[in-house]
Chains A and B, each alone.
Chain A
Amino acid sequence: MAVQEGLTAPSSPERTRLWSQTGILVLFLGPAAAYALIFLILPYASVFRFSVWAVENYGIHQELTAANYLRIAENPLYRAAIRNSLLVAGIVTTASVVIGYALAVYIAFFSGRGQSALFFLLVIPLWTSFLLRAFIWRMILGRQGILNSALLWVGVVDKPIDVLLFNMFSVCLTLTYVFIPFVALPVYAALEKIPKDLIEASMDLGGSAWVTFRRIIIPLSLPGVVTGAIFTFCLSFGDFVTPTLLGGPDVLMVSSVIINQFGASFDWPMGSALAVIVIVIVATGVALATQLERRNG
């Protein structure tokens, strides 16, 4: 009897333990799960649901249709916008990784006593609004901007040059400026964690500075690079402030098209379909980067 009882239901102290374990799990993971559900899973599901509906006269028809996706596939406009976004994100990520990495290496290994001051200077721009930082570049690159004034004053040019602003160059330059800290900070954090004796051991065993950098420092800082690169890629791919303010007539990015759909066109389904495509592209990029990190990290 006693044995059977024990099999069917846990004894009282055991039951309490199970309950308290469940309680702890709910307490600690519940909010996280609720957050994931409310702010991640449901919104994405909703975007996807909208993307297979249609709009007619300010009403959304909840009938299943692939029309939005077909429109995106048929009109080269959407491919061009996505291509532009990929191009900008690619250039910005590459430039930010190269410059951000060099900066992080400098701060971590070569800045000596100025290390904390430099780190502080790197973080300061993040306190300012993104919009403001983008707008300031308009003042720097404009016809009457700081750069043109300097060039005129030095005598390099005799009239202001137009090519600095309102094109792909100004968009990439501004975004790179904005995102360098996003790469430099995680890389710096990774570099800081590399044990000094590993570097010394490499040098002691006859490894040159280059070999040490390539075989020790780069692999160990790769997680930082991947983190920074993912941030930069995703955020620059989806940015619309910079192309709007500094893009000029040629730089149409997909986020601007999406905003058009939700605003002026009142075509939420079409906007959602474009958003789904963006999500797929960005998710693929992130997955590839994570794979790369796993293989080499």
Chain B
Amino acid sequence: MQRRTFIQATATFTFGAVAAGSLPAFGGEELRLLTWEGYAENAWVKNFEAEHGVRLSKTYVGSNDEYMAKLAAGGGDYDLVVIVSSLARRAIDAGFVEPLDLSQIPNFENIFPRVKNVPFIAKDGQIYAAPTFLFVSPVTVNAKALPEGNDFGVLFDRKNAGRIAMWDDVSTLGDVANWMGIDDIWNMTDDQLAAVRAKLVEQKPLVRTYWSQQGEAMDLFANNEVIAANSSSYITKILKERGVPVREFLGKPPLGGIDSHFVVKGSPNRELAHRFINHILSAESQGSIADVTGYMPTNPASKAHMRPETWTELGLDDISREIDSMKFWDDIPRRARYIEVLNEVKAA
């Protein structure tokens, strides 16, 4: 995700604020966040701290799996946690998190209707999370080598042999299944999984390599090793900033994910945690976050609180239009099997 490698962009900002001695010594409560770097920057957190007389302590995590490992090891050290849509159901079922009291989060109502009604944040009629940020998983291509075409099939085209990279992640199985017209991409039958595996094995002679870190994928494009890969918007964005001629397009239907804020089970700061969620869902916070970080808001009212070009650059017009047909990263009941299939492709 783009959050992972966000460090550089905000490091200067954070350092500046800390160096200026702007961290007041609160006598009051402390709210402990387990989150992505960039989700809790001073620009939109300071006012919350001041307003409530609390201090936020932030722990950053480098990968989605790390969140679950930390929670599995005992979540008692945190009040709030950000979990990606593909792991949300697991976190709820494993009892890591507790239901929200939506009456304390009025801004929840302003979330894109499709997004606030996703099934994986609900259980037994209760809502466990507030979707706070969106992301999409696009195909990034070299715009010079492939000036035209917006089909995921570009990754399977023999003309591009040796110049294709694929993400070494379970989401790649979802990407390919989505393109193959499979509906329930995160809960495929054995036959469907076998079909996707066969497709990926067939693709292997065309693949230059599988990438695992975003920096690695950028390096592949920048050094002209590959001309097409399933990737992330962040990869395209950074490559463009570096002057590498790339463009991106979404699959049909578009595939993406949601990061949501959850309250950790047994948190002694429940109420404060709810207030923080409400704060981060406000149009003002979401607009500010989009401007600074390039993350996609879940509250469309944030349009009025961000620079117009941010809205355009993030492709939020397209997202707003297609959000109802979008497929989100969802729980993978047979996650271990999916990972095994991915490895089977490599071993084939």
Binding site for B on A (CB under 8 A): 57-59, 75-77, 80-81, 84, 138-139, 142-145, 162, 165-166, 244-245, 247-252, 256-257, 260, 263-267, 270
Contact A265 B339 (CB under 8 A): yes
Of residues 126 through 174 on chain B, the ones whose CB sits less than 8 Å from some CB of chain A are 162, 169-170
Also in contact, A142 and B336, with CB within 8 A (given A58-B94, A59-B94, A248-B208): no
**For the complex, what is the distance from the CA of A244 to the CA of B343, rounded to whole Å?**
13
Which of the listed residues A75, A77, A257 has the most CB atoms from chain B within 10 Å of its own CB? A77
Which of the listed residues B68, B169, B204, B343 has the most CB atoms from chain A within 10 Å of its own CB? B343
| Interface residues of chain B: helix, strand, loop or mixed (majority) | helix
Contact A265 B336 (CB under 8 A): yes
Q: Does B216 sit at the interface, judged by CB under 8 A?
A: yes
Contact B225 A142 (CB under 8 A): yes
Also in contact, A75 and B216, with CB within 8 A (given A249-B346, A250-B346): no
**For the complex, what is the distance from the CA of A190 to the CA of B141, rounded to whole Å?**
55
Smallest beta-carbon distance B158→chain A, Å: 15
Which of the listed residues B94, B208, B209 has the most CB atoms from chain A within 10 Å of its own CB? B209
**For the complex, what is the distance from the CA of A58 to the CA of B71, rounded to whole Å?**
9
Q: Does B322 sit at the interface, judged by CB under 8 A?
A: no
Number of interface residues of B (CB under 8 A): 32
**For the complex, what is the distance from the CA of A143 to the CA of B340, rounded to whole Å?**
31
Contacts of B219 in A (CB 8 A): 138
Binding site for A on B (CB under 8 A): 63, 65, 68-69, 71-72, 90, 93-94, 96, 162, 169-170, 204, 207-210, 212, 216, 219, 223-225, 335-336, 339-340, 343-344, 346-347
Contact B225 A249 (CB under 8 A): no
CB-defined A-B contacts under 8 Å, sample of 11: A76-B347, A77-B347, A80-B347, A81-B343, A143-B224, A145-B223, A247-B209, A248-B208, A250-B346, A251-B346, A263-B69
Also in contact, A57 and B93, with CB within 8 A (given A76-B347, A252-B347, A260-B339): yes
Contacts of B65 in A (CB 8 A): 263-264, 266
**For the complex, what is the distance from the CA of A75 to the CA of B90, rounded to whole Å?**
26
**B219 and chain A: residue at smallest CB distance:** A138
**A59 and chain B: residue at smallest CB distance:** B94
Contacts of B225 in A (CB 8 A): 142-144, 165
**For the complex, what is the distance from the CA of A162 to the CA of B141, rounded to whole Å?**
19
Q: Pick from A77, A165, A245: contact of B343, CB below 8 A.
A: A77
Contact B343 A57 (CB under 8 A): no
Contacts of B96 in A (CB 8 A): 58
Contact A257 B94 (CB under 8 A): no
Contact A260 B343 (CB under 8 A): yes
Contacts of A166 in B (CB 8 A): 208-209
**For the complex, what is the distance from the CA of A143 to the CA of B339, rounded to whole Å?**
30
**For the complex, what is the distance from the CA of A219 to the CA of B207, rounded to whole Å?**
47
**For the complex, what is the distance from the CA of A145 to the CA of B210, rounded to whole Å?**
19
**For the complex, what is the distance from the CA of A250 to the CA of B65, rounded to whole Å?**
25
Smallest beta-carbon distance A290→chain B, Å: 32
Contacts of B204 in A (CB 8 A): 249-250
**For the complex, what is the distance from the CA of A264 to the CA of B170, rounded to whole Å?**
9
Ranked nearest first, the 8 interchain pairs of A and B with the lowest CB-CB distance are A80-B347, A252-B346, A58-B94, A166-B209, A249-B207, A265-B336, A248-B209, A263-B65
**For the complex, what is the distance from the CA of A84 to the CA of B347, rounded to whole Å?**
9
Which of the listed residues A84, A139, A142 has the most CB atoms from chain B within 10 Å of its own CB? A142
Contact A58 B68 (CB under 8 A): yes
Q: Pick from A58, A143, A144, A162: contact of B90, CB below 8 A.
A: A58
Smallest beta-carbon distance A79→chain B, Å: 9
Contacts of B343 in A (CB 8 A): 77, 81, 252, 256-257, 260
Smallest beta-carbon distance B198→chain A, Å: 15
Contacts of A139 in B (CB 8 A): 223
Also in contact, A162 and B94, with CB within 8 A (given A77-B340, A81-B347, A257-B343): no
Also in contact, A144 and B224, with CB within 8 A (given A249-B204, A263-B65): yes
Also in contact, A249 and B210, with CB within 8 A (given A59-B94, A265-B335): yes
**A246 and chain B: residue at smallest CB distance:** B209
Q: Pick from A144, A244, A250, A267: contact of B336, CB below 8 A.
A: A267
Also in contact, A264 and B339, with CB within 8 A (given A58-B68, A248-B209): yes
Smallest beta-carbon distance A175→chain B, Å: 17
**For the complex, what is the distance from the CA of A266 to the CA of B335, rounded to whole Å?**
9
**For the complex, what is the distance from the CA of A256 to the CA of B208, rounded to whole Å?**
18
Contacts of B169 in A (CB 8 A): 264
Contact A263 B63 (CB under 8 A): yes
Contacts of B94 in A (CB 8 A): 57-59
Contact A58 B223 (CB under 8 A): no
**For the complex, what is the distance from the CA of A257 to the CA of B336, rounded to whole Å?**
11
Contacts of A162 in B (CB 8 A): 162, 208
**For the complex, what is the distance from the CA of A106 to the CA of B162, rounded to whole Å?**
41
Contacts of A260 in B (CB 8 A): 339, 343
Smallest beta-carbon distance A281→chain B, Å: 17
Smallest beta-carbon distance A34→chain B, Å: 26
